[in-house]
Chains A and B, each alone.
Chain A
Amino acid sequence: MLLRKLRKITAFQAVLTSCLTALAVFMSLPIIFIINHAFKPQNELFLFPPRFFVQSPTFRNFESLILHASNATVPFTRYLFNSIIIAVLTLGCVILVSTMAGYVLAKYRFHFKGLIMSMITLSLMFAPETVGIPRYLIISGIGINDTYFGHILPALASPVAVFMLVGFISQIPSELLEAAKIDGASHLGIFARIVLPLSVPAVATISILTFQGVWGDVETSTLFMQEETMRTLAFYVNSLLSGLQNSVAGQNMAAAAGLLMFLPNLIIFLLFQKRVLETMVHSGIK
């Protein structure tokens, strides 16, 4: 059975596959590097030339990271708790708000629709650094400094998510929605019973993108939070890294922290990846 399958592969296919395998291995090198780096003992971290694979893996780096954190004023677990709760709440809110917006932008006609669409594409191009201080002024104006709202609300109106969802939802056949309307479904019913379940692949994609944005975001913690207890894991890791960059002793903690920040992204991606690739091919946009 296997032999017959192998015989079917032509020379062209063999060359193609080996080319692609070589490229794919080359591409995954950095990922392998991050993972290996985190388990290297102190003496291997400073080897020159640096090695890709760890010789004698240890968990010492993680131990010293957690020990270092527990000596600080705010325990490590507090940052972790903040990060998780913010990520979960933001994810839920972004999904709800942007599917609602994407649904009506794709299927309804109303005033200012063209304006809204062009605003979305324009704001995709704008670098986020430049709006930091105006955002700070607005946040302190509404008085949501040092609350979880300060973390969640700025991420809520995501142009990327809506941009992608509009493309995806407009491919749902209108006849389906009309049929539901004739059967007496309300607007909200159509949205909840038909549009949401059908756009699960797109929702999976924006979940990944949003999760990454929120998980790695340090801007809200640095600008809007003055209380140390309200800041996130990303902020903690970042300040740890910048404080330790030049010290020899800190390198192992930095390596472990790098893996720690990277791992949730990997897990989320593996959970959703099949659906994501479907959406990407359908909507043709990130």
Chain B
Amino acid sequence: MNAKARRRVERLYQGKKYGVGLLFMLPWIIGFCLFVAIPIGWSLFMTFNKVQVSVGGFKYEWIGMRNYRDAFLKDNVFPIELITYFQEMLLMVPIIVIFALLISLMLNQKFPGRFIYRALFFLPVIFATGQVLSELFLQGAGDIPFLEQYNLLPIVEEYVGAQFAGTVMDILGKAVLILWYSGVQILIFIAGFQTISPTIYEAVRIDGASPWDSFWKITLPACVPFISLNVLYTIIDLFTFPLNPVLAHVRDNMFKVDTGYGYASALAWIYFAFIFVLIALVLWLFNRSLKTRRAHS
């Protein structure tokens, strides 16, 4: 076989492989385009329009950036809710991640019945679908009664100042929720701990390091990528949380006559942009810390 023929056969083989790959992808791609990609694009288009429901369907009227301007200048609920929610989230994310880290450290120890505990901590994630959660909150099972009983608010106010006291109290009230929302993070951490080889711990122990030292010097640095993964996951998880007040506001605006779907989409896109910036920031920070560590070692 000469070189030319061989190349042709090779190309045919590669082409066939590409074709097979795309063929397997095809059903998913069609579904994705129809029900995810096109709707998302469409909603972006709608943000620049005033969308009105009329008899024959939807009526679009191009208004450029006005929806976005209205969101910040005319709407007196949206910016406040956005800021409050972000404040809450900035506190919640570290709490959830640190809590998950502690629990997973405990679960990583050897003790009888470990598997059952792992399953128990993961269980809530499976149930934490919107309906069950909102039902629980409606019936008040998510609250902790001692907050009101012991009148903690003045104490909290004294320590963190009046403007943050409300947020802190909110978070304390959501303690159950924090527990419920850390299942996946705990598993990610446990999986991460398995990547550290036990011989390192042994070597450090022989050199005379206490478990405390080996946590700070070995476990924590090795976990940085998993911490960043968990932070991202938590942000996304909280962001699409069904009881989220910002999304509730978006939903309310969807079917109002004077604001309409275009405006609601614009709100959602602003929200999306904020989250995106936050995620980019987190990624950048973690990448930088990884790089400096590598430069040091």
Contacts and interface: CB of A to CB of B under 8 A. Distances in A.
B139 interface: yes
Given A30-B176, A110-B21, A97 B43 contact: no
Contact of B24 (A100, A133, A258): A100
A101 interface: yes
Contacts of B24: 100-101, 103-104, 108, 187, 191
Interface in A122-144: 123-135, 137-138
Contact of B39 (A104, A125, A131, A265): A131
Interface stretch (A57-65, A70-78, A278-286): A278-286
Most buried by A among B38, B141, B251, B271: B141
B130 interface: yes
Q: Please tell me the size bucket of the interface on A.
A: 35 or more
Contacts of A104: 20-22, 24-25
A108 B20 contact: yes
Contact of A20 (B106, B110, B272): B106
B247 A277 contact: no
Interface residues of B, number: 88
A138 B39 contact: yes
B35 A156 contact: yes
Interface stretch (B67-75, B88-96, B118-126, B214-222): B118-126
A269 B265 CA distance: 35
Interface in B22-42: 22, 24-25, 27-32, 34-40, 42
The main secondary structure of chain B at its interface with chain A is helix
A134 B10 CA distance: 44
A186 to B, nearest CB: 10
A103 B184 CA distance: 24
Nearest to A258: B135
Interface string B254-284: 1000000100110011011001100100000
Given A24-B120, A33-B136, A119-B32, A262 B27 contact: no
Interface stretch (B78-86, B188-196, B199-207, B285-293): B188-196
Interface string A240-272: 010001000000000000100110011001000
B261 A133 contact: yes
B297 interface: no
B172 interface: no
A3 interface: no
A265 B18 contact: no
Given A23-B179, A131-B43, A234 B131 contact: yes
A261 B184 CA distance: 23
Given A30-B176, A132-B254, 9 more contacts: A33-B136, A33-B139, A97-B28, A123-B36, A130-B264, A187-B20, A261-B132, A281-B187, A281-B190
